[in-house]
Amino acid sequence: MSEIYNENSSDLNIKDKAVMFHKEGKNCAQSVLLSLEKYTGLDSDLAVKISSGFGGGIKSGEVCGAISGAVMVLGLCGHEKYAKLIVEDFKNNYGSCLCRTLKGTYHVSCDELISHAAELVEGVIKNGNL
C-alpha cells in the first residue's frame, strides 16, 4: 500500500476521502479513483499512474478529471453503462463537464466536483443506479 494512506483515512466517508487525496496533491481523477479503491481493488500506486494524465481536463481543460476518475471506477466495477449519466449529472448540476468551464466560468471548486463524483459512483456501486 502506498504512503498516501494513513491510519485515519479508513474512517472517512467517500467524499471526505476523495478531498483528502486532492489536498495531498493528487489530481481530480486520481482523487476519485483512489477514494473508491475498496470497490475497485486497484493497487493505489497503479491507480495513481493510470490516472495521472487525466487531471486538469486531460491537462487541456477538457473533460473534468473528477468525471474521468468516476468513469474509470465505473468501468472497473462493471457499471460503465452509467458513464453518460455521470456526464449528464455534471451538466445538470454544474452547467458543464469541461474543466475550464467549471473552474473558469462557473467557479466550482475541484473539491466540490471530486466529492460529488465519488459520492455518485459509490451510489451506483451500492444501489445499481444514480
- Domain positions in the chain are 9-127
Q: Give the three-class secondary structure for 39.
A: helix
Average pLDDT of the segment spanning 59-75: 98
| pLDDT, position 3 | 45
* pTM passes above 0.85: yes
Of the listed ranges 63-72, 77-86, 102-111, 121-130, the least confidently predicted one is 121-130
Instruction: Tell me which residue of 58, 82, 60, 61 sits closest to 70, measured CA to CA.
Output: 82
Please give the C-alpha separations between residue 28 and each of 32, 39, 94, 116, 129, in angstroms, as whole numbers.
Answer: 6, 18, 16, 11, 23
Q: For the chain, what is the mean pLDDT?
A: 93
First CA to last CA across the chain, in angstroms?
A: 30
Higher confidence at residue 2 or residue 91? 91
Confidence of residue 9 (pLDDT cuts 50, 70, 90): low
Contact 48, 34 (CB under 8 A): yes
Contact 51, 30 (CB under 8 A): yes
